[in-house]
Amino acid sequence: MTDLDTRTIRTAIETANDVVLIIGPDCRIRHWSGSFESLTGYSTESLSGMSLLELVPASEREEFRSRFHAAVDGSTIDIETRFETATGASVPIRYTATQLDQPIDDTLFCGIIRDVSADRERKQTLRKQTERFELLTKNLDEVVWIRAGDDNHFAFVSEAYETVWDRPKAELYDEPDRFFDSIHHKDHDRVRAAFDGVTDDGVDIEYRIVRPNGEVRWIHDTAKGVYNEVDGSDQLVGIARDITHRKRREDQLNALHEVTQSLIEAETRSAVAEIAVTAADRVLGFDKVGLHLYDEQTDTLEPIAYTPALRRTIGSPPPAFDRGEGLVWEAYETGITVYYDDITTESERYREETPFRKELHVPLGTYGVMVFATTSEDAFSHGDRSLAELLGANIRSTLRSIEREELIATQRDRLDELLGVISHDIRNPLNVARGRAELTAETGDISHIDPVITALERVEELTDSLLSVAGKSGAASEQTPINLGSCAEAAWEMIDAPAAAIAIDDGLPTVTGNESQLQQLFENLFSNAVRHAGPDVSIIVAPTNDGFFIADDGPGIDLDERDQIFEMDYSTDTEGTGFGLLIVQQVIDSHGWSIAVEAADAGGARFTVTIDTTDLLDDSIAPIDG
C-alpha cells in the first residue's frame, strides 16, 4: 500500500461517525477510527493486531466467522451481534463489511460497526408506547390511528377499526393504501385529497365507508400532525368516529320537518292522525303504532289511526279505552311519557297474553295518546324516545291549531247568526219606535210615546241578550270556589216575580267555576220558569249524585221539543228573545258540564246539570227527589 493510499484510508476512518475497521482475511484488525476504543473499552495497544472474533461472545463466534467468509467471496455482509467490552459489558452492534478493491496483492476488508444500543432502546420505547396505546384504546369505540414516515405507513391502528370497518387492521400495516379502498366511491377522491394535502390545521372530514357485506357507515375523521420525540419522526395522529347513528337521526329530523309541514296543512283530526302514524312507520321506523284521540261524547280514547303491522299483530283494530282503563288512559291523565321496558310485567296491560314486549306511551295533551309497541327484545333507545316525543309535540301543536280554527269557525257562524238576529229582530222594534215617533211629531199626540219606550226597551233587552251570547265562547275564565246555593239565591234576587215561590236546598255543592256565568245560568232558568209556568210558579233547586237540578210545576216541555230548546231563536213566547236557554247551554259547555231536560215530579220542566267530578269540591252530595 502506498503512502497516499494509507493517508486516504486513515482520513476516511477518522472522519466517520461510526466505527470504521480495516481488517485482514484472518479477521485481524489493521486500522480503526478513534471511537473504537470508547466502544470496546480496550486501549490502542490492546486492539492492535487483535482478532475481531475476540470481541464476539464465544457462543456467537462460529456464526460470525461463517458469515464473514461470505465477504471473502466478494459479497457484502450485514451482521447483528454483540461485543464484549474490556469491562465485561455486552454492547449490541451492527457490523457491515465488504472486500476492498486494492491495486496491490493484499486482501483487506472495510467494515462499519454501529452501536445499536440507542436504536434498540428506541425500539423498545416505541414498543412500550404502542402497548400503552393499545391498552388505552382497547375499550374505545373510536378508531385511533397513527401514520408516519415518508411512505405514510400506519404505525398504529386501534382494535376498534375491526369493529367499525369490519376489516382486519393487519391489512393497513401491510398495505396502507387499502384504507382508501374502503371509502365510498362518492367520497373517495375528496378523502384522498384531504389526507394527501394535510396542512398545519390537520384534517376534519366526514365520509362514508363500505363494509365487506355492502353496509354503508358514516365516519367523522379528525387528524393532527405531531412530532414523536422518541424516534424523531413527524406523525399524523387521527381519531375516526362512527357517526352513522347521528346521520340517521339528522335524516329523520329533516324528514320530521317535512312531516310537520304536512301536519300544518291537515284540516281534520283524522287527517292529522293518519299523517302522524304514517310518519312514525316510514320515517322513524316504528311499524306498530296506534293513535288514540279523546272523544268527549263517549268519554273514551278512540283509535283514529294505526299501522297495518299493528292490526296484523293484534288481529283487529286497536281498542277504545274507557276512562281510567289501563296504562294508555294513565298516560293521558298524567300527561307524562312512559316507557315500559317489559310490558308483560305490568298488571294493567291491554291483554293478559299480550304479543308485545316493550311499549312507549306518548300523551298528546288533552287530545289523546300515541302508542308505540314492539314484539322484539330490542329496546327503544333514548334517541327513539326523543324522536317519538318530538313527533307527539308536533301532533299536539297541530291539533291545537285545528281546535282553534274550529273555534274561530264556530264563532264566525255564531256571529253570522247574531247578525241575522240583529238584522231581523231588532229592526222590528226599531221600525215600531220610528213610526210612533214620527206620528208623535206629526200629530203632537203623546200617547204614541209609550209604544216608543216599549220598543226601545225591547231593543235593549235583545242587545243585552246578544252581548251575553257573544261573550259565552270558550272556557269559563276566572274560576273560583262557588257555593251553588248562595249563587242561586243571588240569582233569584234579580227575578221580578213576587208571586213565585222558590226552595233552594242547603245541600247544594261547592264547585269550581265562573261566578258571573253560573249566576246568569240560574237567572235564565228561573226567568224561563216564570215566563212559561206563570208568575206564581213554584221552583225547586236541589242536589243530585253528581250535580243539581232546577224543577218547576209548570206545563213542562213537550218531548219532541226538548232537543231544540237550546238552539238559537228557540222560544214559545212571542215576547221572548230566544237566547235565554242558548246562554245556559253555553255556560254549561264552557265549564265542561252537561245538561238534560226531563219531566219534573210535579209535572213541570226539570233541568238536570251534571258537573265534572274534578270541579266538585264537596266530599259528598246528598241528593233529593224533585
Confidence band (pLDDT; 50, 70, 90) for 412?
confident
Residues 406-424 as b or e (16 or more Cβ within 10 Å = b): eeeeeeeebeebbeebeee
**Where a domain ends, among 176, 210, 242?**
242
**What is the rounded radius of gyration, in angstroms, for the C-alpha atoms of the chain?**
50
- Do residues 432 and 499 share a domain? no
Instruction: Please state, in angstroms and as integers, the Cα–Cα distance from residue 187 to each residue in 81, 152, 203, 275, 307, following that order.
Output: 50, 21, 15, 35, 37
- Do residues 314 and 253 share a domain? yes
pLDDT digits (tens, 9 = 90+) for 504-513: 999 999 999 9
- Do residues 323 and 362 share a domain? yes
Please check the confidence at residue 362 and state whether its pLDDT lies above 80: yes
C-alpha cell belonging to residue 467: 252581548
Please check the confidence at residue 495 and state whether its pLDDT lies above 50: yes
**Where a domain ends, among 205, 223, 242?**
242
- Do residues 447 and 488 share a domain? no
Angle between helices 269-282 and 382-421 (to 10 degrees): 170
Closest by CA to 213, choosing from 255, 173, 182, 249, is: 182
pLDDT digits (tens, 9 = 90+) for 251-277: 888 888 888 888 888 889 999 999 999
Residue 397 resides in a domain: no
Alpha-carbon span 596 to 45, nearest angstrom: 130
What's the mean pLDDT in 557-585?
Answer: 65
Please check the confidence at residue 215 and state whether its pLDDT lies above 90: yes
- Do residues 257 and 349 share a domain? yes
Residue 396 resides in a domain: no
Residue 564 resides in a domain: yes
Residue 314, phi then psi, degrees to nearest 5: -95, -5
Residue 395 resides in a domain: no
Please check the confidence at residue 421 and state whether its pLDDT lies above 60: no
Residue 400 resides in a domain: no
Please check the confidence at residue 459 and state whether its pLDDT lies above 50: yes
Residue 620 resides in a domain: no
The CATH number covering residue 607 comes to 3.30.565.10
Residue 570 resides in a domain: yes
Percent of the chain predicted with pLDDT > 90: 33
Instruction: Please state, in angstroms and as integers, the Cα–Cα distance from residue 219 to each residue in 182, 239, 297, following that order.
Output: 12, 10, 54
The CATH number covering residue 283 comes to 3.30.450.40
**Where a domain ends, among 187, 218, 242?**
242
pLDDT digits (tens, 9 = 90+) for 171-210: 998 898 899 999 999 999 999 999 887 777 788 999 999 9
Alpha-carbon span 303 to 462, nearest angstrom: 45
Residue 621 resides in a domain: no
Alpha-carbon span 54 to 387, nearest angstrom: 79
Closest by CA to 332, choosing from 294, 275, 373, is: 294
- Do residues 607 and 499 share a domain? yes
Helices (H), 187-231: 188-196
Q: Higher model confidence: residue 474 or residue 306?
A: 306
- Do residues 437 and 312 share a domain? no
- Do residues 72 and 186 share a domain? no
- Do residues 221 and 349 share a domain? no
What's the mean pLDDT in 433-448?
Answer: 86
Average pLDDT, the chain: 83
What's the mean pLDDT in 569-578?
Answer: 49
- Do residues 253 and 380 share a domain? yes
Do 40 and 85 meet the contact criterion of CB atoms below 8 Å apart? Answer: yes
- Do residues 275 and 373 share a domain? yes
- Do residues 252 and 380 share a domain? yes
Do 288 and 310 meet the contact criterion of CB atoms below 8 Å apart? Answer: yes
Residue 133, phi then psi, degrees to nearest 5: -60, -45
- How many domains does the structure of the chain reveal? 5
Measured between its terminal Cα atoms, the distance across the chain in Å is 145
Measured CA angle at 35 (ends 32, 37), to 5 deg: 80
* Type of residue found at 396: R
Burial class (CB in 10 A: 0-12, 13-18, 19+), 101: exposed
* Type of residue found at 57: P
Alpha-carbon span 328 to 346, nearest angstrom: 12
pLDDT digits (tens, 9 = 90+) for 317-329: 999 999 998 899 9
Structural domain of 419:
406-468
Please check the confidence at residue 8 and state whether its pLDDT lies above 80: no
